[in-house]
Amino acid sequence: MLTTLSILKADVGSIGGHVTPGKRLLDTISRHVAKGLDELLSDYFVGATGDDIAILMVHPRGVGDEEIHRLAWEAFKEGTALAHAQGLYGAGQDLLVDAFSGNVKGMGPAVAEMEFEERPNEPFLMFMADKTEPGAYNLPLYLAFADPMNTAGLLLSPEITKGFRFTVMDVGYVQGDRIIELTTPEGLYDLAALLRDNDRFVVEAIHSRHDGEQAAVVSTTRLHNIAGKYTGKDDPVMLVRVQKNFPATGEILAPYAIAHYVGGFMRGSHIGPLMPVTRSTGCSYFDGPPIVSCLGFCVKNGKLTEATDLFAHPFWDTVRTRAAEKAIEIRRQGFSGPAMLPYSELEYGGIVHILKRLEARFHVRPAAHPAEAVLA
Ligand code: F6R
Ligand code: MG
Ligand code: MG
């Protein structure tokens, strides 16, 4: 049967700063989504990472379905009302428009959806990241789907040795979805050349070249592009189908042991290591560090199993310690050089105002030697 998995994710308010949404807010959103059971949904799951809430919905209606999007939008609206009543910080932050108009894309919440024919057993992973951007998944996806140093299956498994097709979006382009498709292994260097720039070129989807099936989908739109002004990093969600004709769960997870540096962190304006965390983890140090959670599920005839928390395994404690050390290390240099993002990626405009104000005070010193003046 054809099944669609849709994740819609938004920050509609949190406790203690941009930290965590709280149980009442999660319950309110969950209760609203439950109203769609039977008529629209076969199953759903509501989870949180950092200050964001993600609604995972299972249904047969395909991607971009208006009623599915409306259900999530209204759940977030109801959550926003509670957030205002509770005095939560940033209530309704990611709902950028007042009225729903057919599809939440462009309205604030992040969206990642895929439709597929259920395999006889269908394991998949749901990733949620906070205090970072969609390009944070570039490196882990590249390693998991294209590098045999990470993914032994690229050498050992006949289903995946044919490689994968990556759809990459230029998120710097604002007039529409500017995308390119690259196939691996032959397009490996081209892919690496693009994925170098996490803030510009972002993996949106990955398909198997063995059977054409979709393996992964990432929420690739950026809040500051669709909103016309920078309202925050997009705190991306991702779905990845695993095993058999796709990389194994462990191959998808292995790259997160790097705790690679990504954009985001305090005020969406810094570089920090991506720390793999357990479900419902909030933010703390320097409003971060950037975090990612991963829940594993199986789906059968549209029904989900319970979630298994993949970064709860003791192995990841060592990675978390290393990530904390990397975070402290880069924070030691404060605003200097690569610790802070370039102007184009700063979430706050204050520094631009400072520069504008100082512009008038700059002057060009007269050249000491006439020759210097000639050269100039
Ligand atoms: C980053 C984030 C936080 C806030 C910071 C300032 O994405 O959510 O780091 O940017 O806490 O928040 P405001 O400006 O709301 O006081
Ligand atoms: Mg937030
Ligand atoms: Mg967030």
Q: List the domain boundaries for the chain.
A: 2-359
| Ordered DSSP codes for 308-328 | EEGGGSTHHHHHHHHHHHHHH
- Report residues whose beta carbon is within 6 angstroms of any ligand 1 atom: 17-18, 131, 232-233, 266-268, 287
| Mean pLDDT value across residues 90-107 | 86
Q: What are phi and psi of 186, to 5 degrees?
A: -65, -25
Lowest mean per-residue pLDDT among 101-105, 183-187, 210-214:
101-105
346 or 163: which leads in pLDDT: 163
For the residues 27-35, what does the mean pLDDT come to? 98
Which has the higher per-residue pLDDT, 38 or 114? Answer: 114
**What whole-number distance in Å separates Cα of residue 156 and Cα of residue 233?**
38
∠134-290-13 over CA atoms, to 5°? Answer: 85
Residue whose CB lies within 8 A of the most ligand 1 atoms, among 230, 287, 347, for a mutation test: 287
Task: Output the residue whose Cα is nearest ligand 1's atom 3.
Answer: 267
Ramachandran quadrant class, 84 (left: phi over 0; alpha: psi -120 to 50; beta: rest)? alpha
- Residue 224 has what pLDDT? 54
Predicted confidence at residue 112, as pLDDT, reads 98
Taking the centre of ligand 3 as the mean of its atom positions, its distance from the CA of residue 299, in whole angstroms, is: 27
164-180 pLDDT per residue, tens: 999 999 998 888 889 99
* pLDDT at residue 19 greater than cutoff 70: yes
- Nearest residue (CA) to ligand 1, atom 13: 267
Average pLDDT estimate for 189-204: 97
Measured from the Cα of 266, ligand 1's closest atom is 9
Q: What is the CA radius of gyration of the chain?
A: 22
Secondary structure element (H or E) that encloses residue 365, with its range: none
- How sure is the predictor about 216, in pLDDT bands with cuts at 50, 70 and 90? very high
> What integer pLDDT is reported at residue 118 of this predicted model?
98
Kindly give the number of the ligand 1 atom that is closest to the alpha carbon of 267.
Answer: 10
- The pLDDT value given to residue 349: 74
For residue 361, the Cα-to-chain-centroid distance in whole angstroms is: 41
Specify the range with the lowest mean pLDDT, choosing from 1-5, 240-244, 365-369: 365-369
- Distance of CA 196 from the midpoint of ligand 1 (Å): 26
Distance (angstroms) between ligand 2 centre and the Cα of 20 equals 9
Q: CA-to-CA distance for 330 and 89, rounded, in angstroms?
A: 28
Local structure of 271: helix, strand or coil: strand
Catalytic residues: 11, 230, 233
Ligand 3 centre from 329 Cα, in Å? 23
